[in-house]
Amino acid sequence: MDTEKHDTTAPSSNRRRFLVGSALSGTVPFLPHEAEARAPLAARPPGDAAPGFALHVNAHVYQVALDPRTTLLDALREHLDLTGVKKGCDHGQCGACTVLVEGRRELSCLSLAASMQGREVTTIEGLATPDGRLHPMQQAFMNHDAFQCGYCTPGQILSAIGCIREGHAGTPVDIREYMSGNLCRCAAYPNIVAAIEQARDQGEG
Amino acid sequence: MTGPLFPQGGPNMGQPAPRYEGRAKVTGEARYPSDVRLPRTAHACLHLSRIGRGTIRGFDLTAARAVHGVIDILTHETVGDAIRQTPAIYQGGYTSDSLLPLGSAEIAHWGQPIAMVVAETYEAAREAAQRIVVTTAPHPSPAVDINAPGAETRALEPMMVQAGDFDAAYAAGPIRIDARYTTPAQHQNPMELFATQCVWEGDRLTVHEPSQYVNSVKFGLAEQLGVPADNIRVISTHVGGAFGAKGFLTQRTALVAIAARRLGRPVKLVATREQGFTVSGYRAETRQHVQLAATRDGRLTALRHEGWELTSRADTVAMGGASMTTRLYACPNILGRVNTVAADRSTPGFMRAPGEVPYGFALETALDELADRLGMDPVELRRVNDTQTEPVGGLPYTSRSLMRCFDVAAATFGWSGRSPRPGSMREGDWLIGWGCASAYYPAQAGNSAARVRLTADGTAHVASAGHELGQGMTTMMAQVAAEELGVPLERVTVSLGDSDLPPAVVNGGSAGTASVASAIMIACDAIRARLGVPRDAPYAALRAAVAASGLAFVEELGEARAHGRSPESLPDMYRGRALPLGGVELPDRVQFAMGAQFVELRIHRWTREIRVRRAVGAFAAGRIINPRTSHSQLLGGMIWGIGSALHEHTDIDQRNAAYTNANLADYLVPVHADISEIQAILVSEEDRLVNQAGVKGVGEIGVVGVAAAISNAVFHATGRRLRDLPIKLEHLL
């Protein structure tokens, strides 16, 4: 797979068009482990070379060439090293893989990476400001101890942001209904609802 | 804005410190084992048996091998003798079951791993695994569950509990209850999948795997692979939930390890959600029989509790909950028995409050039946039979605050407003039911060690191979070190979840905090003793003492031996054999955390829809080091209890014992919409005997008793006594 990362929004010129290689399976001409990293390409069936395309994630552009079956979830985790997004079922049943696509919550395990061309994807890594200030929803989750093991948490936080934006966070009953696609096996549900109410009352979504 | 839900502390409680790793978890920076990135990783995918018990006649791997990117396919034919047969934990070993991974052509159960593909990409591995063709000879009539004709029942004589003369006392009992109960198979389903990554550097193996016990993985794998344990390191920094499913070494790890060795590169396996249903253990289904006799004023005169628990053919596993339900209430004549029923299934294992959830459901429902028969308030029935000594051996409870929990929870719930007659409380088309039950969980501990380092700059570091499962272990470790040394909490750092660190108990049985906190306290005592600094010395004095010592740092190892363990048991801790001990297993005393569960539910008059409107639980569990994380555990536990009562059961195909709902859409767990008002109250309790830390543990007690409180509330709402879990609306039509 080829991966190139461009920063589209960073104000400083030295971050613009910054190239990043994927250490696992990506290739960037300037990296020393190029030969190793090319192995996956050699294994691809002849004539089936996946066309490259651009993935827009957290205000960066990644040039990728992936097996066409690659889900957005696996692309983010295995190829872009954005492992905040979690695999809990791979079937759209648990919500752990929730990301924002064009600001709306989507299940990245049910989305093919190739279908994301030209669409802006936001993962948990893209919520805090570059200087490390947390998004109010992240802060609210910490304030209310709205997680235990933390595995579903990135999905819960992104889904909660989407829930507020959709206007489905007016009451606790609404929040519970519209957050029910995000399972939390530690069952931090009451604390999650309280956290969402806090962020909502701060005008965040 | 809603205020924080967690309590702010109280007598014998520490500070509600926020989670040490909280920021890492809300930013996605926390790396769980499957998030660890290793260069040149190959991806593995399991192929599980699609038949029940039977025999493999042969594999056709042509199509699988033809998938581009496939590197290797492991089957019993290609693995050879690379993995050695080793005993399971139930025989003193390390593995969660005693089937040899890819050991032979024999298939013991549906969902058994029978092949593993390794490929350049996950997509290729998955495709190839699906293209494996297996010719099999299925057994004509596998025993699929606890009621199957071919299942073998075996009485476990060592688990028998006896006091007085049950038969005579029961026969003479003025008021008698005789009832049978069933509980279903359930799966832990932590959100994090069962993942394993293995990488060899020369003859040294590093394993990244979510675990409740890295040393079980390390030492078990050493035996299986014939590799010195010193050459194996197991890392499990963050664990995405475990609930008993990640306690011991499963078959998958050795497969990934040998694949990585064969390939000379890292191999990563992430079992699918469906595969997870047989990759590890689960809560076995049970049948239970309870007989109670009582005087007309409610005093128990006879109590019998017998359980039958499903197990596999390969392993005799029983949670044996009757050993505890026979010790909870004053009663002179007692009989407890446990039986296993072996069927053609994967080996069951531990799931949050493994013995207490099913057995507690039966006993606490039976007590409600007795209260109803007596015309007695169920809280008062518990009060009449409350005791400070267990009734079988006459051993004292180290502390027991059951009735204080009942009184606090009843007052908060408003129990005095209950109209006792079934069906007498209604709101429009909704029947209202109020129910209650006791919660209990054995206070346990296991041998554990911790290393604490106090550095000249005034910072402290605490390290132990305990685990952060979400229960708050990291935060607790920092808090105990901070408190014991007098170092500000923000100046304490923590390492855990790594077999290179001082060993700790398996983080199960609610024993983690009690065990590791005790070890940290011993290490901190040693540091203060070395520096000659008294307990309550100010921070400045501590720093001055380190500076005066001329050392860059002072470091001490604390080893805490659990009550009931011999001094000779300490070396076992360094061999991955530190298991919890406590509850009713001690020669001189019994030790339990106690609680009271109250539930209000409503049942629709026409549709019979069941909704839990609110639940109040109060729990006394000795010292609470962090009320915030403890409270979250108890809340989560109570919600688990709701799931256990109303949602969760694993469906078993009667032809081949396949789990037909092995996914998160069909295996129902509580979701946001199922949960409204849940209140968990921490009841202050001090217990200086239970262990050095005075901690009883809260990881599991929150689940216990909820199912009975719900079944009792269903009876109160409808007059229908339901003795089989989960309770569904069709049972009320």
Q: What value of ipTM does the predicted structure carry?
A: 0.97
Is residue B700 among the annotated active site residues? Answer: yes
Asked if residue A13 is part of any domain, the answer here is yes
Option in A81, A124, A128 nearest B37 (CB): A81
Non-local CB neighbours of B215 within 8 Å, separated by 6+ positions: B234, B465, B499, B503, B575, B576, B578
B632 to A188: CB separation less than 8 angstroms, yes or no: yes
Q: How far apart are CA B558 and CA B522, in angstroms?
A: 5
Asked if residue A122 is part of any domain, the answer here is no
Quote the mean pLDDT of chain A.
Answer: 82
Confidence of residue A3 (pLDDT cuts 50, 70, 90): low
B191 to A201: CB separation less than 8 angstroms, yes or no: no
Q: What is the pLDDT of residue A19?
A: 33
Closest-CA residue of A relative to B187 is A185
Is pLDDT of A26 > 70? no
Q: What is the pLDDT of residue B703?
A: 98
Is pLDDT of A16 > 50? no
Q: How far apart are CA A147 and CA B471, in angstroms?
A: 10
Is any Cβ of chain A less than 8 angstroms from the Cβ of B37? yes
Closest-CA residue of B relative to A174 is B673
Asked if residue A106 is part of any domain, the answer here is no
To which H or E segment does residue B402 belong? helix B402-413
CB-CB neighbors (< 8 A) of B208 in chain A: none
CB-CB neighbors (< 8 A) of B637 in chain A: 187
Domains of chain B in sequence order = 33-141+189-279 (3.30.365.10), 355-443+586-732 (3.30.365.10), 445-581 (3.30.365.10)
Query: Which domain CATH number covers A182?
Result: 1.10.150.120
Task: Compute the nearest-CA separation of A145 from chain B (Å).
Answer: 7
Q: What type of residue is B721?
A: R
To which H or E segment does residue B311 belong? strand B300-312
Q: Which residues of B88-98 are buried (b: 16+ CB within 10 A; e: fewer)?
A: bbbeebbbbbb
Confidence of residue A44 (pLDDT cuts 50, 70, 90): very low
CB-CB neighbors (< 8 A) of A86 in chain B: 32, 191-192, 240
A142 to B19: CB separation less than 8 angstroms, yes or no: yes
Q: What is the pLDDT of residue A6?
A: 56
Confidence of residue A50 (pLDDT cuts 50, 70, 90): low
Domain shared by A79 and A8, yes or no: yes
Packing angle of the helix pair B627-646, B356-374 (nearest 10 deg): 70
Can you say how many angstroms the Cα of residue B347 is from the centroid of all Cα atoms in its chain?
16
Q: Is B212 in contact with B508 (CB distance < 8 Å)?
A: yes
What strands lie across the sheet with B677-682, from one edge to the other?
Answer: B426-427, B430-442, B592-604, B610-620, B677-682
Start-to-end CA span in chain B (Å) = 42
Q: Of A142, A116, A148, A117, which Cα lies nearest the Cα of A127?
A: A142
- Beta bridge partner(s), residue B696: none
Residue B163: CB atoms within 10 Å: 19
Q: What is the pLDDT of residue B64?
A: 98
Non-local CB neighbours of B186 within 8 Å, separated by 6+ positions: B282, B283, B351, B644, B648, B649, B650
B632 to A44: CB separation less than 8 angstroms, yes or no: no
Residue with more model confidence, A40 or B403: B403
List all residues of chain B from 255 to 274 with a beta carbon under 8 Å from chain A: 270, 272-273
Burial, A158: exposed, middle or buried (Cβ in 10 Å; 0-12, 13-18, 19+)? buried
Asked if residue A35 is part of any domain, the answer here is yes
Domain boundaries, position A154: 136-201
Helix (H, G, I), strand (E, B) or coil at B347: coil
Q: Which listed residue (B648, B686, B700, B730) is catalytic? A: B700
Q: Which among B25, B68, B634, B639 is the top mutation candidate for probing chain A, defined by the most A β-carbons within 10 Å of its own β-carbon?
A: B25
Q: What is the pLDDT of residue B674?
A: 97
Domain shared by A8 and A68, yes or no: yes
Asked if residue A93 is part of any domain, the answer here is no
Number of domains in chain A: 2
pTM for the structure as a whole: 0.95
Option in B30, B238, B664 nearest A89 (CB): B664
Distances (CA, A) of B440 to B339, B356, B501: 22, 8, 33
Could you list the mean pLDDT of each consecutive 10-residue stretch along chain B, which spans 733 residues? 73 96 98 98 98 98 98 95 95 96 97 98 98 98 97 96 98 98 98 98 98 98 98 98 97 98 98 98 98 98 98 97 98 98 98 98 98 98 98 98 98 98 97 98 98 97 98 98 97 98 97 98 97 94 94 97 96 96 97 98 97 98 98 98 98 97 98 97 98 98 98 98 97 94
Q: What is the pLDDT of residue A13?
A: 33
Asked if residue A129 is part of any domain, the answer here is no
Asked if residue A99 is part of any domain, the answer here is no
List all residues of chain B from 627 to 646 with a beta carbon under 8 Å from chain A: 628-629, 631-633, 635-637, 639-640, 643
Closest-CA residue of A relative to B32 is A151
Q: What is the pLDDT of residue B607?
A: 96
Q: How far apart are CA B669 and CA B648, in angstroms?
A: 6
Is pLDDT of A45 > 50? no
Closest-CA residue of A relative to B1 is A198
Q: Is B590 in contact with B396 (CB distance < 8 Å)?
A: yes
Asked if residue A105 is part of any domain, the answer here is no
Domain shared by A78 and A142, yes or no: no
